[in-house]
Chain A
Amino acid sequence: MNRQYIIRRILIAIPSLLGISVILFGVLAMAPGDPFEELATNPAIPPEVRMALRAKFGLDDPVWQRYLHWFSAMVQGDWGFSFQSRMDVDRLILQRLPVTLIVIGASQLLAISVAIPVGVLAAIKPYSIFDQIASTFAMIGFSLPTFFTGLVLILVFSIQLDWLPFVYRADINATGWAFYGEHIKQSIMPVVVLGLAQAGTLVRFMRSSVLDVIRLDYVTTARSKGIGERKVIVRHVVRNALIPVVTLIALQLPAVFGGAIVTEQIFRVPGIGSLLIAAILANDTPVVMGITFVISCLVVLFNLIADILYGWLDPRISFR
């Protein structure tokens, strides 16, 4: 693994982020809706005041000027001001981001740690009973939308069994272990819903990837060396089979954020997704811009991590 490869990957990420920000800004500028719409219908506020406010926030400038303005401020750490919440966008996002990151991170970990072993075991004994069961569950996992599985879980575990809370609360009146316990308890359902949807696709992918690798010549070579079957699978099959799966995980990340937005709505998780939806409904452009840009940054970051992992898993790539 060479440093040059990593540096090159990081440098490529910069222009893609710039491009993304231009597109996001352009699309938002073209979108209908005006943050001061409310004021227009309010008879107490004369049109001149509204116009003055628009001018003050620079809403009447040409798009490219507004973009440059936004960009230079963003680089300096000023992400704008939320019309709706009356606070700085960066503070608003930072308040909400950790919850989302924890939910998404935990669900990804869950998905990966379930899907990889299940996919490998299913592939080692294809068409066995285990494989059939795993494939059936995987099929269910990726064909059911999260809003459906989420509601089913709420029905079963919150309403019927009353084990888990169905509303995610940010204000828990507890300290110490009880505080963390409550947090974990209320995170279980959103994490499971999001994680299992992911795991379904990953199981299918891992299984076929292992099946592809397991019949390759070098696996026979490994067996001929007298290495135990378990070690053959872990060292010589799984590592090679992971290469395409890492790509899949990175490619699916935008979909995971999409899923997270829906899941946050269902469970009322006070994360970035519910903030985004509220901001869109209120035409709160700076917030929408800020959140979508943060999500883009995260997606680019994880693609970068995937690229680096890729270079580690497959030495042929980093040499090119």
Chain B
Amino acid sequence: MADTLLDIRGLKTWFKVEDGMVRAVDGVDLHIDRGETVGVVGESGCGKTVTARSVLKLIDMPPGRFEAGQILWQGRDLIPLDQGEMNKIRAREIAIIFQEPMTSLNPVYTVGDQIAEVIALHQKLSPKQAMAGAAEMLRLVNIPNPQKRVHDYPHQFSGGMRQRVMIAMALSCQPKLLIADEPTTALDVTIQAQILELMHEMKDKFGMAIMLITHAMGVVAETCQRVTVMYAGKVVEEAPVEALFADPRHPYTQGLIRSIPRIDRAVSRQARLESIQGTVPSLLNPPAGCRFAARCKYAMDICTQGIPPLKEVAPGHRVACVL
């Protein structure tokens, strides 16, 4: 494996609730190499966001808890680190942008203040230099008139512009990894394309790796080199993007791909878009066997007896299915 940046091994992030433990992330393996874009896909509640936030340890503990596993950042496990040590990694080495640009910026400070805050903190610059750096970052993410806009407040920006500000803030310390947690979900389609384009551009400029969390398979196809598919807190399939779309092995992945609207098929067939039947199992009391078994049309007896491990079916293509 060439130059692994992040290597998550058997991560279990559980949440204590009144009725027991919610196994939001239940044994996830995931690795990201330097300069690579990895997509993490799955439906709502499958543990994508919790995985992402676990990496930066942004989970509230309690109720959250790391039950098991390691998060190796350049070979060093992040789980035992304390706040102070984590704060040296946050923003400087791993940055994150969130789903909701409308609420992710503090309404009472100017965007310049908020970007300069990170720059001043990690690069030990004076407030004035940091502010100049903030304006430079705004220019890089194509916000017009950056010298003036740094003094504006978040409410004076549109959603897409705020996401640009978030990206500017995340990249201001040139992190090695950018975690993008559904960065385009809250935006409308034309803006989505612009933001993805911008992330691509920034990646070329700064050479960082991206962990792109999304539920949109189309976004994955366009931007990622490798994809990890998650279902109910577990990884069910992991493959290079071409292999995943050409030869999806896990029935869940197959279902996800079939549920993408296709312009070439919809016209010829008056069929409805395919969907995956059933609902996600409760993560409070997950079923004993494969978690997808109840919704899987190929389900057999052995599926409910044990959890199938990830096994390699082709180079770099691993599937957790008995088929």
Q: Which residues of A contact B (CB under 8 A)?
A: 216-218, 220-229, 236, 239-240, 313-316, 319
Closest to B179 in A: A224
Q: Is the CB of B90 within 8 A of A239?
A: no
Which of A220, A224, A240, A316 contacts B91, CB < 8 Å?
A: A224
Q: Is the CB of B106 within 8 A of A224?
A: no
Given the known interface contacts A226-B89, A226-B118, the answer about A221 and B105 at a Cβ–Cβ threshold of 8 Å is yes
Q: Is the CB of B106 within 8 A of A236?
A: yes
Question: 9 more A-B contacts (CB under 8 A) besides A225-B121, A226-B92, A316-B153?
Answer: A216-B103, A223-B58, A226-B89, A226-B91, A226-B122, A240-B108, A313-B108, A315-B108, A319-B156
Closest to B59 in A: A220
Residues of B within 8 A of A223 (CB): 58, 90
Interface flag for B212 (CB, 8 Å): no
Given the known interface contacts A220-B98, A224-B95, A227-B117, the answer about A240 and B106 at a Cβ–Cβ threshold of 8 Å is yes
Within the complex, what minimum Cβ distance (angstroms) separates B84 from chain A?
A: 8
Q: Is the CB of A218 within 8 A of B153?
A: no
Per-position 1/0 for B133-173, Cβ under 8 A of A: 00000000000000000000101100000000010010000
Q: Which 8 residue pairs spanning A and B have beta carbons closest together? A: A226-B90, A226-B87, A217-B103, A218-B106, A226-B91, A217-B104, A225-B118, A225-B91
Which of A218, A239, A313, A316 contacts B103, CB < 8 Å?
A: A218
Q: Is the CB of A224 within 8 A of B56?
A: yes
Q: Is the CB of A226 within 8 A of B153?
A: no
Within the complex, what minimum Cβ distance (angstroms) separates B161 from chain A?
A: 16
Q: Which residues of B contact A (CB under 8 A)?
A: 53, 56, 58, 83-84, 86-92, 95-96, 98, 100, 103-108, 110, 117-118, 121-122, 153, 155-156, 166, 169
Closest to A229 in B: B83
Closest to B56 in A: A224
Residue contacts A-B, CB under 8 angstroms, 26 given: A216-B103, A217-B103, A218-B103, A218-B105, A218-B106, A220-B104, A221-B104, A221-B166, A221-B169, A222-B106, A223-B90, A225-B90, A225-B117, A225-B118, A225-B169, A226-B87, A226-B88, A226-B92, A226-B118, A240-B106, A240-B108, A315-B107, A315-B108, A315-B110, A316-B107, A319-B156
Closest to A213 in B: B106
Closest to A239 in B: B108
Within the complex, what minimum Cβ distance (angstroms) separates A313 from chain B?
A: 7
Within the complex, what minimum Cβ distance (angstroms) separates A224 from chain B?
A: 5
Which of B98, B104, B121 contacts A226, CB < 8 Å?
A: B121
Residues of A within 8 A of B83 (CB): 228-229
Q: Is the CB of B122 within 8 A of A224?
A: no
Residues of B within 8 A of A225 (CB): 90-91, 117-118, 121, 169
Within the complex, what minimum Cβ distance (angstroms) separates B68 from chain A?
A: 24
Residues of B within 8 A of A218 (CB): 103-107
A221-B156 Cα distance, complex, nearest whole Å: 19
Q: Is the CB of B90 within 8 A of A224?
A: yes
Chain A contact surface mostly? helix
Within the complex, what minimum Cβ distance (angstroms) separates A130 from chain B?
A: 16
Q: Is the CB of B108 within 8 A of A220?
A: no
Q: Is the CB of A316 within 8 A of B155?
A: yes
A228-B89 Cα distance, complex, nearest whole Å: 12
Within the complex, what minimum Cβ distance (angstroms) separates B193 from chain A?
A: 24
Closest to B93 in A: A226
Closest to A243 in B: B108
Residues of A within 8 A of B117 (CB): 225, 227
A223-B83 Cα distance, complex, nearest whole Å: 10
Which of A224, A227, A228, A316 contacts B96, CB < 8 Å?
A: A224
Residues of B within 8 A of A216 (CB): 103
A314-B154 Cα distance, complex, nearest whole Å: 12
Which of A221, A226, A228, A314 contacts B108, CB < 8 Å?
A: A314
Closest to A223 in B: B58
Residues of A within 8 A of B104 (CB): 217-218, 220-221
- Most chain B beta-carbon contacts within 10 A, residue among A223, A226, A239: A226
Residues of A within 8 A of B100 (CB): 217
Within the complex, what minimum Cβ distance (angstroms) separates A213 from chain B?
A: 10
Closest to B166 in A: A221
Residues of A within 8 A of B166 (CB): 221
Residues of B within 8 A of A228 (CB): 83-84, 87
Given the known interface contacts A226-B92, A226-B118, the answer about A221 and B87 at a Cβ–Cβ threshold of 8 Å is no
A189-B107 Cα distance, complex, nearest whole Å: 41
Given the known interface contacts A226-B91, A226-B122, A315-B108, the answer about A221 and B153 at a Cβ–Cβ threshold of 8 Å is no
Within the complex, what minimum Cβ distance (angstroms) separates A80 from chain B?
A: 46
Q: Is the CB of B91 within 8 A of A217?
A: no
A229-B89 Cα distance, complex, nearest whole Å: 15
Given the known interface contacts A226-B87, A226-B122, A316-B153, the answer about A221 and B106 at a Cβ–Cβ threshold of 8 Å is yes
Residues of B within 8 A of A315 (CB): 107-108, 110, 153
Q: Is the CB of A221 within 8 A of B98?
A: yes
A229-B83 Cα distance, complex, nearest whole Å: 8
Within the complex, what minimum Cβ distance (angstroms) separates B172 from chain A?
A: 9
Closest to A224 in B: B96
Within the complex, what minimum Cβ distance (angstroms) separates A25 from chain B?
A: 42
A313-B58 Cα distance, complex, nearest whole Å: 27
